[in-house]
Amino acid sequence: MKSEKSPITNHQPPITDHQSPATNHQFLQVVFVGHVDHGKSTLLGRIYADTDSLPVGQLDKVRAICEQQGKTFEYAFLFDAFLEEQEQGITIDTARTFFNWGNRHYIIIDAPGHKEFLKNMISGAARAEAAVLIIDAAEGVAEQSKRHGYMLSLLGIRQIAVVVNKMDLVAYDQKVFASIVAEYSAFLKELNVIPCQFIPASARNGDNVVTGSDAMPWYDGPTVLESLGRFEKLPGGEELPLRFPVQDVYKFDARRIIAGRVAAGMLKVGDSLVFSPSNKTAVVKTIEAFNVPHLPLSAGVGKSTGFTLDEQIFVERGEVASLKESLPEVTDLFRANVFWMGKNPMVGNRPYLLRLATKEVEMELAEIHRIIDAGSLDPVMAKEQIEKNDVAEVTIRTKKPLALDCFCDCDITGRFVVVDGYDVCGGGIVTQVLDNDQETFRREARQRDIAWRRGEVQLGERVQRNGHNPGIILFTGESGTGKARLARHLERRLFDGGRQVYLLDGKNLLLGLGSDVTEQDKEEMVRRFGEVAQILLRAGQIVVSTTNTFAQADHQIISTLVYPHQVISVHMSFAGGVTPEKTDLRFLESDDLKKAAKQIVEKMEEVGVLL
């Protein structure tokens, strides 16, 4: 159930002697979190009621509902408005409400505190710039309070005000407040988080919520409302390098409009863009807009827009446009902090779906470095899987390269969620991009692609004329298994069908281009083969490769060098032979050539090489 509440707006600042020191008119998103029954929804309801920020009749409506149900009026019901939530007495889903105060427009995210609804708390907090965390004075620092603090730290939220609520239940005792401050401050220090303020309050009675409290003369700090005004607006995304995750590509008349949202930086006409991870380049020709006398020349951060390019390059959803001088990372291996919320544990050697910005890619858990008990922050040793509500430092490997940033550099392209089946079961942030055995070749290919000097004929034109996309079919297997016979049969079948196809044998390179390469420098031979293959692919060819020169492991290098062109791996073996990982098709040396070639053609159609 999604609980998107109606906007709550007061047209005049209600309390002139509590004006916020903020002088800008920007939006500020603040998440309110706290353990179940610590009074978070009551605190929010009190803020809106005491600042006269509720719509006309809202208070009376809630009172009437309480009377119908035979309940005492609760300020929490102003937010927990659904009957189901009122009956359970807890906030189930994330609610977003709005109000203006002191020249600032606040978006208040009311995140659920119950352990079973941590997933909604994470999704709500992920959008916040600051947080208010509520702790029950009578109960003290609960495990869930620590868990919430860790989650806020995990999501990179550093502006945190802690409200010690229900002080009326401990007779407004300063020692109780001081004890909680000392305990929770020490806990947050372990997370490198220093709270902006600790505030003793009673939401039920209104103490230190909007106005000060005579019951706690020993406290002379800000109220909860004043602490909101002390939160600083974080540096805008316009100060960051350009990041434009592609949402979709639309065709209007002869134009291809690339649509999405400017996640960071500024997009301008004339910008020379690089689309990662494909490394395709083009210049922004126009920025589109509806019903305007003149098209805009730029689009700032947060702007949903579309633009055209000076060349009709093929760009896919999920790619990230940036400027050449400030590229995102491109990798298939990175370290991350992950919070797991799935019913089933997260385990290695099984596929999950990773969503980062607009990109979706298959991933697996490559390594668990350590698992943290979010209640105590103690490491949990000797665990090979991540259980529900565990926080873990892990290495993630994706099936295909993706463009991303470390979270500390750009939060939009540094934050992701993990999907298991149809459910979002985890979330995390990228902490470090890792090098693997393909990194050298990936960097070489990236530099090559960005600097590549193209001719007048574009790949899309070749695809349209040829009736197929370029692609490469790589054969592996022991000598004598029939690789060459099948490859030649496939080449003839494709050629007779009107396809542009070429048989590239690695041994032929040894006769010329690779004649200076020694047997000990096999990796260089593989690199040269990959570069020749990518030239043929740029020419729109289907490349069929068969050779005993390369091993199965070398095919990953070739795939990296020709990315993003489609690669199909075909393995030939004797009966009982082992099939290498990442093999698309396997045949035995005794299989019928025609049937095998037919299956390869069907695979080429399935992956989009043949249209």
| Local structure of residue 519 (DSSP, 8 states) | T
d(CA 461, CA 312): 9
Amino acid at 177: F
User: 1-15, 208-222, 306-320, 357-371: lowest mean pLDDT where?
Assistant: 1-15
Confidence (pLDDT) at 605: 95
Q: What is the pLDDT of residues 553-587, one digit of tens each?
A: 688 888 889 998 999 999 988 887 788 878 899 99
Amino acid at 539: A
For residue 507, what is the enclosing H or E element? helix 506-509
- Mean pLDDT value across residues 396-411: 90
Read off the pLDDT band of 374 (50, 70, 90).
low
| Local structure of residue 326 (DSSP, 8 states) | S
Closest CA to 155 of 202, 111, 116, 102: 111
Runs of H (alpha helix) within 313-472? 439-451, 459-466
> Backbone phi, then psi, for 60, in 5-degree steps?
-65, -35
> Backbone phi, then psi, for 317, in 5-degree steps?
-55, 140
CA distances from 573 to 83, 331, 503 (A): 64, 32, 21
Whether residue 399 has pLDDT greater than 60: yes
d(CA 611, CA 463): 9
Closest CA to 34 of 93, 92, 124, 110: 110
Pick the more confident residue, 478 or 299.
299
CA distances from 39 to 47, 166, 500, 602 (A): 12, 8, 69, 61
- Mean pLDDT value across residues 210-225: 93
Mapping DSSP to helix (H, G, I), strand (E, B) and coil, where does residue 201 land? coil
Confidence (pLDDT) at 494: 96
Pick the more confident residue, 609 or 144.
609
The residue count of the chain comes to: 611
Whether residue 460 has pLDDT greater than 60: yes
> Backbone phi, then psi, for 275, in 5-degree steps?
-100, 120
- Torsion angle of C-alpha atoms 318, 324, 330, 335, degrees rounded to 10: -110
Q: Which residues pair with 364 in a beta bridge?
A: 397
- Mean pLDDT value across residues 29-40: 80
Closest CA to 285 of 267, 262, 305, 308: 308
Confidence (pLDDT) at 379: 64
Q: What is the pLDDT of residues 506-561, one digit of tens each?
A: 888 878 887 887 777 878 888 888 999 999 999 999 999 876 556 666 888 888 89
pTM of whole model > 0.85?
A: no
Burial class (CB in 10 A: 0-12, 13-18, 19+), 590: exposed
Mapping DSSP to helix (H, G, I), strand (E, B) and coil, where does residue 51 land? coil
Whether residue 93 has pLDDT greater than 60: no
- Mean pLDDT value across residues 107-124: 56
Q: Between β-strands 267-268 and 298-299, what pairing exists: parallel, antiparallel or unpaired?
A: antiparallel
Confidence (pLDDT) at 4: 36
Whether residue 91 has pLDDT greater than 70: no
Closest CA to 429 of 157, 146, 234, 185: 157
Whether residue 90 has pLDDT greater than 70: no
Read off the pLDDT band of 311 (50, 70, 90).
confident
Confidence (pLDDT) at 2: 35
Mapping DSSP to helix (H, G, I), strand (E, B) and coil, where does residue 202 land? strand
Read off the pLDDT band of 121 (50, 70, 90).
low
Q: What is the mean pLDDT of the chain?
A: 83
Contact by Cβ (8 Å): 560, 568: no
d(CA 434, CA 331): 8
Read off the pLDDT band of 125 (50, 70, 90).
low
Contact by Cβ (8 Å): 342, 426: yes
Pick the more confident residue, 2 or 236.
236
CB atoms within 10 A of CB 340: 25
CB atoms within 10 A of CB 325: 9
d(CA 394, CA 333): 11
